[in-house]
Structure 1
């Protein structure tokens, strides 16, 4: 499960790297928690467009009061892409790329967990597979597709984002579901760099620290 990502590049740099139209927004890249504002690349009338969106689909659980605020579901399980997530996954227009520099996982004892960052050694500015939709609650929003982690990374976490090879970006954005599903795979551990830090996991409060994050 991924609940913190960072994007260390300017809007112009991200747009240029992905051949995308720049968004009309004052939002800037940086660290993003569930419920926060991040960036995605999607197709718009055959042209790639960089857009700022809320990270997480708004969901109200059965046990929640009707007046309760929705929770952001920011991770989408690979084994539910053809069930819970089907309407978005099977429509290429609802798939997106999520640019990132690194994603973080929590390591250590409960209450003393610190951030461990994972980045893609051969892609300084990488992208993982995402889905997006419009919502009444937050406007445009997105979620990140997850798979089981490679065994070499199980000591950090048993799940990881679907990191895409640069040559596969178009296929994720445009292909039929059966071809897009072929990209839903583990990224080779030997191509990932691990950086452990002493920074507390929640050094600042996440906008949705207690939210459900994986469906």
Structure 2
């Protein structure tokens, strides 16, 4: 009888371990594309003179920015017919759970389309301060955490395209901007369920200067072909510390 009890207990223990492993595997699958960092890196390596020409914006101050833009770093946007350098990401404040003291603000660099009208962080900027973000490629991480590699997305036969953005002045970092995200297209469904809002050339002015309703109607998933470049480049690189950990709200 004693041996039978031990044997039964052993079966239960093994079953419990197996169930836990299955749950962990399912959790990993669920995490997959949804919890990966999203669009926290993009390239803009078109010369500013060319950006100004394509976007119909004046490069008054001589915009300077790095070819690879990370959250909290400077990037170029077109506002009111002028190219301007701003910090990528709105400052978001939090307090330490341990001390209760304010922490350094982090950059919230992506805004969900379904939160633009209701979230106080985005609402006024969407209504009053929309901008155009020139982009050459945007990047998504692929692979296991800690071993992510870079996968780049761009438009075929286009050296530059424009993504919908919003901006506002901040006390912390000066003027700052955020990208607007929509549902991801089928072509990148295995990587993430969100993507930047790519604007057609004929819609640039309407996004920048139209009514909020007109602008909101432009927030559509890009369903035309994308050029995908899966690389062996590690996602993490050594770079100058910024003021941010990227966030999507």
Asked if Structure 1 and Structure 2 have the same fold, meaning a TM-score greater than 0.5 normalized by the shorter chain, the answer is yes
User: 1: distance between equivalents of 2:92 and 2:241?
Assistant: 15
TM-score, with structure 2 as normaliser: 0.78
Match runs of 1:82-97 below 5 Å: 82-84=117-119, 85-91=122-128, 94-97=129-132
SS of 1:90's partner is helix
| 8 A contact 1:35–1:207 mirrored in 2 | no
Q: Do 2:72 and 2:244's aligned partners in 1 also have CA atoms closer than 8 Å?
A: no
Superposed, 1:185-196 pairs within 5 Å as: 185-190=220-225, 192-196=226-230
The aligned residue for residue 31 of structure 1 is 68
Q: Which has the higher contact order (CA 8 A, sep 6+)?
A: 1
TM-fit CA distance, 1:210: 6.5
What is residue 200 of structure 1 aligned with on the other side? Answer: 234
Q: TM-score, normalised by structure 1?
A: 0.90
State the partner residue of 1:213.
247
Deviations 1:29-83 (A, max 9, x none): 410000001000011xxxx000011000011025575442110000001110101
Judging by fraction of residues, say which structure has more strand. Answer: 1
Does residue 70 in structure 1 map to residue 105 in structure 2? yes
How many residues end up aligned between the 2 structures?
208
Query: Normalized per residue, which structure has more helix?
Result: 2
1:162, CA displacement in angstroms?
0.3
1:49 corresponds in structure 2 to 82
Deviation at 1:25, TM superposition (A): 4.4
Farther off after superposition, 129-138 or 55-64 = 55-64
Of structures 1 and 2, the larger Rg is shown by 2
Residue segments in structure 1 that go unaligned for 5+ positions in a row? none
Q: Is 1:5 paired with 2:21?
A: no
Cα RMSD of the aligned pairs, angstroms, is 1.8
**1:135-159 alpha-carbon deviations (Å, 9 max, x no partner):** 0110011000001101231112111
